Amino acid sequence: MYQMRDDIQSILVDENTISDICDRLAAKITQDHRDSNRELILVTVLKGSVFFATDLIRRIPLPCGLEFMKVSSYGSGTSTSGFIQVHLDLKRDITGADVIIIEDIIDSGRTLQKLKHLLEDKGANSVKCCTLLDKPDRRQVEMQVDYVGTVIPDEFVVGYGLDFDEKYRNLPYVGILKPSVYQK
Ligand code: IMP
Ligand code: MG
């Protein structure tokens, strides 16, 4: 029987570590927002971040909205002329709210940077960023990330929401994909 595990070179972030990261980041988000009267909204980027967002929000004991967007970012490697394409937009007003964008991974940082500006333009009081994984070696734009789960090396990873060709999202851990899989 073929199993997805056969395509994984090594496990980078196991289930216990993911759980510890969610505990830590949820505690920090709670601490940072507990004394605020403003509405707190997590904006989750489909599809990869859904697993992380639902684990995180369950650990936040404050009233907290959950919204979804689907976006993709285009632009050449060296210019900043790329744009963001919105495939699924917010269905509600976020004016005056404190928004936290939930991402699975930050690579070049382009998607997050553009999404942040978009949400600021929609009238949010503040827009912060929270990511499970950060690949700082790949960063192409200056980007402040407020909550980081863990920094990882420049490897292509899958699992816990992250896909290759829409596969491997349902692995319960984050693993490095064998290069032979995507070099085929
Ligand atoms: P960027 O930060 O704008 O370059 O894009 C980040 C997006 O690229 C993420 O939301 C993922 O969808 C995708 N991505 C980047 N690195 C990986 C990876 O190692 N595995 C799976 N998807 C990735
Ligand atoms: Mg993504």
**Both structure tokens of 164:** 């290759």
23 is catalytic: no
Amino acid identity, position 82: G
Share of the chain above pLDDT 90, in %: 85
Q: Is 33 in the pocket of ligand 1 (CB under 6 A)?
A: no
Domain that holds residue 70: 15-155
Answer yes or no: is 182 within a domain: no
Residue 184 — very low, low, confident or very high, per pLDDT cuts 50/70/90? confident
In a domain, 48, yes or no: yes
In the predicted model, is pLDDT for residue 77 greater than 70? no
Rounded to 10°, the helix 15-33/50-57 angle is 60
124 belongs to a structural domain? yes
Q: Is the pLDDT of residue 163 over 80?
A: yes
Mean pLDDT, residues 130-156 taken together: 94
Structural domain includes residue 107? yes
Ligand that lies nearest to the alpha carbon of residue 46, given by its number in the listed order: 2
From the CA of 105, how far away is ligand 1's center (Å)?
6
Give the side-chain half-sphere CA count within 13 A for 170. 3
Residue 75: its pLDDT value, please? Answer: 54
Ligand nearest to the CA of 112: 1
In a domain, 165, yes or no: no
User: If we measure between CA atoms, which residue out of 23, 28, 14, 2 comes closest to residue 146?
Assistant: 28
